Every structure is written in structure tokens, then in C-alpha cells.
A and B are shown apart, each in its own frame.
Chain A
């Protein structure tokens, strides 16, 4: 059996008395496009930060490609690419200088870093403004540059925190095509997004975190089957039908079912008119 690309055991993070992530046991196989979902404040970003070394875990263990992140940080980081929440850009470099810099930080030689920089800028349609500083890029351009930087060294695992936020439809299509090509070549992608339609279209496997705890994990079909089984068991009660016969539950419906995201009439803000 393959060593999981990403595996965590009892991963926990506390901020003082507040437990942001508690006993999370994740397992992501190599080559999976893995979606990590959860409502706001559920612990998604905290988890991804711990997985990428941006945040220390309070307890628990993280293994990436079979290596312990705490014990072998340099070896692990060499094989992963990250687009973190803040994008990790250096505003006063040009796009080309930034990609060159990142490439060399990941151990590429000058020639390889230069060649890949040129290709990535072209691919991301960022090559037309070579003198523009990153700080003067639009949000979407910065996002594309951050993604280019995350893949310049050919990572085996790619962590993406809200990669499509602020990216236009054309660029979004380009990025999705690139990510799917990476998957086809055996890379693993770990993605968080609030846009469930994108996750549903791209990801083969999912995990849902709610209030710091992992509440579901598996393929989309497995999650759907789980929700439908739960609903069937509750049919005798007052629970409404999950879906019309013959219709599949969407990811949004599955997500709402799992995290209990239903609204009650008494929660409406009556003063809003």
C-alpha cells in the first residue's frame, strides 16, 4: 500500500484556552485532488498552516510523503508547494525576480530557475509587464504569481488556500487546467475553498472540518452515501427527504447537512425589513 501523501494523527492546535483544531486525523493518498472544507472559523486555515510549517501544532503528528514534518522540515518542504492565505509575495520585486528568487530558494540552479520563470510568466499571462513590481499587480495577478511560485520547483504536494479568490474566469480556467495536469502526473493537491462548485468539479476526495473537529472524510460518493444513509435512518422522524428520487445531492447540500447549516425562521433579522 502506498504511503499517504498527507497524514496527520491527533493534530491539535490551541490558542490559549481556545482549541482551534482538535484531534484531526487526515489521510490523503498520492495523486488525490483533495478538498478541505469547513465553515468560517472551523479551523481550515489553521490546519493548512500547520501542514505547511507556518504554524506549530500544539500536539499531534504530521507526516508528508512518509516524512515527519517536525523532524525533517527541510526535506519535507523541498517537496511541497504552498499558496498561503497571504500569498507570501515580496512586493518590491518584479514578477520575474520573485519567481527566480523562489526557484533558487527551492534549490534550482540559475539556468533552470530562469527558464521556468519565463515559462510560468508566459503561462500565467504575466509576461507582458516585466518591469511592474508585484505590489502594483492586481489581486488576481498576484494570485497567479503566487501559484506560479508554488509550482516552480515541481512539488509533489501542493497546498492551496483559497486559490481562486479574486481570480477572473479566464485565469481561473487556466489554473484549473494546470492543476488537473499536475494531478495527472501524480502530484497531490490539498485545496481549501469556500466555492463549493469549484471543489465539487475538481476534487476527488474531501474532508469537512467543523468547530475544529474533522466531521467527514472520503470521496464525494462516500460522503453522499453517508448523508443519504443518515437521512434514511431518520426518515421515521420529522426529517425531510434528502433529495428527490433519482437526483444526486450536490456538494453544497451534503456540506450543509454535515455541518448542520440550516436556518430557522426565528434567526431571521426582522429589523432588516
Chain B
């Protein structure tokens, strides 16, 4: 990074990039959809603000408590969650794909230091960095209030910790970006990510299980691990503050120096990756293609679904091909069973809210089915998103949108049916087979909720489509407007389901819920048919906006 200086030329480039980002934002406001997105993001900003300020206050209070009660070493307990959030949140929230592709900048005459700084600065403008900085600031204030003499040192150590986190997050990002550049590695990474997410779900239940009994080996491992923990940045930062408080300045300085060394090592790795990008590494799919074996196969005929018209069957088949080739989607569909397993492994003796299924196993089937439905809404509410430019075919082909939506809805309904059966079997193994009346009530409830969600989903898919990629890690999110609308629909569905169950409970007869759900499903099917019959008109009226969104590069 030698030779880094802010020449007027470089400042001009920085200003130009800042300006183009601002112009992109302003131009996005020209459409109603863009304005709605900004409003939705405003709500998200408020939510992040509450979490940021609340977390900052909480960390400040805890920091104050630990320092003033002589437990300053415990600050590590605060820094570890901050560290994990900072590094994991961008991955979990798919922020990896929300950034402007800075590698496009390479065609301009940027020096490497400029390129490096642009990737670092503009890439770091994300919620995790903002929240992490806010929380560390709160912690520094808390420590300062308790021990004013320690404030400057604590602030310096926490500042270095923040720099380390920013650099590490960027380094992870650029490496993940390198793997995302090719479809095959992108899909492998997606699978690894979802396995990681699934494993993550089991931490709580397993910790609870272990916590209920004395496990001397766990205590022994913890004692052995602690010195290593102090050699990793969150532990090092806590160690530097604790040693300084105890007057041991040399070890405090050593811990701080080691923390800075970590940051420098990460900086070096980041530099390596970005330098390779800067020198124009080739990440095209052509490399993968050159390895293809030339072969010929007999053409397999399309699916024959009895009673279903050819075009509807073709769409059904296409949807299943798409879903079966989407690693992230396939893993998502396993989640209802995983969630049931999480509940099953959780502590069963206590009356904790988090494991209510242990005390009411009859609810396992309805809860698992409801979760399966919730997962499916991601597909239902943006059903044209993955079609991208293929959407043009729907407009030029002699098939009505009624049939197209019917094919897609049929595919989604079949997926849900498979999921519900899977959940039923899983509940049977993990708890006990669901009672007949519970099974019927749940199936009717799911039918009602599905029809209502399909009706709303069909409308929102036409009104607020968003281009997505099933195969790409983190590119499956619908538009923010759709997400909020979907939340509203789920509130209505679950509200009606809750009222229905309360009525059934008041009469002490679960069959009443089945009948009510059947009536609701009947009403929802009328709404569904009405929407389907209007789909062609709406899709034609909205074709400019739909094609503009889905066919954009």
C-alpha cells in the first residue's frame, strides 16, 4: 500500500463513484416501485437503528458493570457476539449480493491504491459495520464511565478491533465473491452455507442438553480452550483492556500489538486477493466449459401429467427443473424437519417457551406445516423472479397467464404437499404420529392458507416482480415491498387460524376447526379463481414494468 496519497486525480475518482451511487439512488426514485422500496428500507433503517442504539446501550451497561465489579476479563463475552455478528450477518442477510460490483471499475484508469480503497470503503458501508461500530462505541463509553482513566486505552483497543473486523469482513467478502463468480463454486458455496445454517440451529438445543447435566469433560475442554481464546482478536482486545486496568501495561501493549498484527495479516490477505482482481484474473465460466466431455444423449420427452393441459404440464416440469437445480432452495425445503428436530433436541423438562412442542406434541404437525408454508411464500410471492428474460417467452407464446400461473401454482402446491407429508412422518418419528383430527384440521388449515397465499402471491408476482437467481447464493429475495405485503398476509392467515383454533378449543372439539378451515378454504378458492381470471388483463397492463425489471442485465 506504499505510495498511497490522495492526489486531486484520485479524489476526483472517489467523488465520481460517490456521485454515481447517489445518482443511482435518485434515479431509482423515479418509479413508484423504487419509492416504495425506499419507504420499506426506511422501516428497515429504523429497525436497525433500534437494534444499534439498544445494543450500544446494553453493551455500555454491561461494560460498566464488568469494569466496576472487577470482572473486566468478562468483556470478552461481549466482544465475541459482536465479532460473530459482524462477520456472519453479511452472509446471513445476503448482503454479499447487494453491493455494486466494484470489479466493473477496473476498466477505468484507477491505480491499485485507489481500487483497494474504493473496495474497502464503499464495500464496508453495510448494516453490520454500522451496528458493530455503534456497539463498540457504547462499550467504550460504558468502560469510560466506570473507569475514566481507562477510556482512551479502551477506545484505542476497540478501534483497532473495529478495524480488524472491517478488514476481515471485506476479506471474507472478496474471497466469497471469487467463489461466487462461477456457477459451480457458487452452488457448492450455497450448499455449504445452508449446511452451516442448519448446524447453527442445533447449538442452542445441544448447549441446553449439556447444561442440564454435569459434564466434567466440557469443563476440562473449556479450561484448555480459554488460553487460545485469549490469542484471538475478541479475546485479545478484552485482554488488552483487562491488563491495562490491572496496571500490567507491558502485557496490555503486547495484546494490543498482537491484535494489530492480526489486522495487518488480514490486510495483507485482502491485498493479495484484490491485487489478483486488479490484474484481471479470469473468472469466466469458459474454464469450466473447456472440461466438458462431448457426448450425445437421446432427447427425453416432456412430462405427461394426466388431466393437465400440455402448456401447464410444461410449466410444471420447468418449475421442478429449476427447483431441483437450486442448492439453496433444496436446503430451504429441509428446514421444517430441521426445526422440528431442534425442538425435539431442546430441553424437555423445563417449561421454557422455546420448547413448547415438548409439552404440546400435538402442535408439532401444525407448527411444522405452517413453517413449510412460510418457506414456500418466498417462491409464491415472486414466482416470475427466477424466469428473468425467459419472461419474454410467456408474453410471445400463445399461452394465457392464467395457465402459466396455474402451472407455477401447481408446482408450488405439490412441493408443499410433499413437505407436509415429510413433516407428518418426521413428527411421527420425533414425537408421536399426529391424531386424525389434528391431521385433518392442519391439512384444511394449510389448504386455506395456501389458496390465500397463492392468490396474493400471484398478484404480487405481477405487480412487484424482482429478478432473482435460484442458483446464486443470497439472490433469492423478493422485493422489500413484497416482503412487507407478505408479512401482512401471514398476519391475517395466522390470526384467522388462531381464532379458529380458539373457537375449537372453547367447544372442546378440534373437528370444528376442520369445518371452519374448510369454509375458509372454500372462500379462499373463490378469491383464487377471481385473481386467476384477472391475471391476463393485469399481466398485459403491467408488461412494460415486468419486462423492464426481469430483463434487466
Contacts and interface: CB of A to CB of B under 8 A. Distances in A.
Given A107-B310, A129-B294, A84 B302 contact: no
Interface string B353-386: 0000000000000000000000000000000001
B296 interface: yes
A130 interface: yes
A107 B294 CA distance: 32
Contact of B292 (A96, A113, A132): A132
A128 B550 CA distance: 30
A55 B544 contact: yes
Given A128-B295, A136-B285, A104 B310 contact: yes
B477 interface: no
Contacts of A80: 396
B288 interface: yes
Contacts of A173: none
Contacts of B540: 56
A77 interface: yes
A110 B325 contact: no
A159 to B, nearest CB: 8
A218 B314 CA distance: 41
A113 to B, nearest CB: 6
A100 B392 contact: no
A63 interface: no
B396 A75 contact: no
A102 B183 contact: no
Contact of A56 (B325, B392, B399, B544): B544
A97 B183 contact: no
Question: Which of B302, B397, B544 is packed against the most chain A CB atoms within 10 Å?
Answer: B397
Contacts of B288: 136
B304 A110 contact: yes
Contacts, number: 136
Interface in A190-247: none
B543 interface: yes
B398 A56 contact: no
Interface stretch (B96-104, B117-125, B173-181, B315-323): B315-323
Nearest to A95: B299
A129 B311 contact: no
Interface in A63-99: 73-78, 80, 82, 84, 86-93, 96-97
B182 to A, nearest CB: 10
B390 A77 contact: no
Contacts of B325: 92, 133
Contact of A109 (B310, B391, B400): B310
A268 interface: no
Contacts of A114: 299-302
A88 B388 CA distance: 8
Interface string B270-307: 00000000000000011011001011111111101000
A106 B394 CA distance: 10
A110 B302 CA distance: 6
B543 A54 contact: yes
B314 A105 contact: yes
Interface in A104-130: 104-111, 113-115, 117-118, 121, 127-130
B285 A88 contact: no
A84 B390 CA distance: 10
Contact of B400 (A74, A75, A87, A90): A74
Contacts of A121: 299
Contacts of A41: none
Given A74-B398, A107-B311, A129-B292, A91 B388 contact: yes
B198 interface: no
A148 B500 CA distance: 54
Contact of A130 (B285, B296, B547): B296
Question: Which of A86, A109, A110, A127 is packed against the most chain B CB atoms within 10 Å?
Answer: A86
B393 interface: yes
Given A55-B544, A56-B544, A104 B299 contact: no
Contacts of A117: 299
Given A80-B396, A86-B551, A129-B292, A101 B388 contact: no
B397 A102 contact: yes
A88 B392 contact: yes
A53 interface: yes
Contact of B296 (A75, A78, A127): A127
B470 interface: yes
Nearest to A94: B321
B549 interface: no
Given A93-B321, A117-B299, A104 B311 contact: yes
Given A93-B321, A135-B183, A100 B301 contact: yes
A52 interface: yes
B393 A88 contact: yes
A179 B540 CA distance: 31
A90 B398 CA distance: 17
B395 interface: yes
Nearest to A134: B390
B150 interface: no
B52 interface: no
Contacts of A133: 183, 325
11 contacts: A52-B396, A86-B389, A86-B392, A93-B321, A104-B313, A105-B397, A106-B398, A107-B311, A110-B302, A117-B299, A129-B294
3 A-B pairs closest in CB distance: A104-B314, A88-B392, A86-B389
Given A92-B386, A128-B295, A132-B292, 16 more contacts: A55-B544, A56-B541, A74-B400, A75-B398, A86-B389, A90-B388, A90-B393, A91-B388, A100-B299, A104-B302, A105-B311, A105-B399, A106-B398, A113-B302, A114-B301, A117-B299
